Amino acid sequence: MATICISSSLIITVILSVFAIIIPVTFSLQVRFYQESCPRAESITKRIVKKNFLKDPSIPGGLIRLHFHDCFTRGCDGSVLIDSDSRNVAEKDAPPNLSLRGFDVIDEIKQELEKQCPGLVSCADIIALATRDSVALSGGIKYKLPTGRRDGIISRMVDVRLPGPSFSVQATLMALRNVGLDLDDLTTLLGAHSIGFCHCVFFINRLVIEGKSLLQLDQGLAFTGLSKKLAEKYVNDSQLFRNKFAKAMIKLGNIVTAEEGEVRLDCRRVNKRV
C-alpha cells in the first residue's frame, strides 16, 4: 500500500486527454437549470457535501480532483463514475484514476435526488455542483455554476491519457490548449493544491522554502515568465485569486462532449437500452 502523507497540498493531476473529442461550449448550459424541474437539487447537493466534509475535511480535495479527471477525458460527462464490467474496462480503472476519491459522496447525492426528482439531474452536474460546494467549504467563492450537462454513455480506460504532476509546463500547456484552456487557467487552477492530501512520491525536496515548490509542475509555473507574475499577484491579493479561480472552474466545467448523452439513473452504469 502506498504511503499517504497529509499536507496542505492537494495533488490535482492535471489530466489532459488529447485524443478525446472535447469542445468547450456554454450555449447548452445555464445557471439554475433545475430551478423548475428539481428546485432542491443544489441545496440537497450542498447539504450532503457539507455533511461529508464535517466527517472528513479532506473530502473537498477529493471531489475537486474527481471533477478535473472527469472533465479532461471525454469532457465533463460523468464518465469517470462508470464501473468496469466483463465487456469493458472503464476510465476509473486507468492507473491515474485508481486513487480518486468521492465516488460514495456522488452516489449518496444521486440516490437522494432520485427520490426527489427521478431521472432529472445528471451525474455530470452532480460532480460539478459538489465541486462548487467543495470550493466554498474550503474558503473559496461560491460561484454561480451553469448546469444542464448530460451523462456520457462511453467510459474506456484506453481514452485516459494523463500527463502527471512531473510533466513540464510546456508539455502540460500543449495538452491544455486542446481543451480550450491556457496558461492563466493552469496557473489559477493549480491553486487547488492548497487543500487535501497527496501521495508522498509526488513531492520534490521537502517544503516550499528557499524558493522551492512541492510539485515539479508547480515549481515550473512558479519560476516561468507570465505564470510567475500571476502567482506573485495571487500571493499578494487573495481575493483576486478567489475570483479568478471561480472563473477558471466555470471554464473547466464548460468542457463537454460532442454527443448528447443521457441522464443516468445510477451514476455507476449507463441506462439500459430498450
Mind telling me the catalytic residues? 69
Give the Cα separation of 49 and 105 in Å (integer).
Answer: 7
Q: Are strands 255-257 and 22-24 parallel, antiparallel or unpaired?
A: antiparallel
Based on its alpha-carbon atoms, the radius of gyration of the chain, rounded to whole angstroms, reads 18
163 is in an annotated binding site: yes
79 is in an annotated binding site: yes
75 is in an annotated binding site: yes
67 is in an annotated binding site: no
118 is in an annotated binding site: no
Which residues are annotated as part of the binding site for heme b?
A: 193
Which residues are annotated as part of the binding site for Ca(2+)?
A: 70, 75, 77, 79, 91
Which residues are annotated as part of the binding site?
A: 70, 75, 77, 79, 91, 163, 193
Which residues are annotated as part of the binding site for substrate?
A: 163
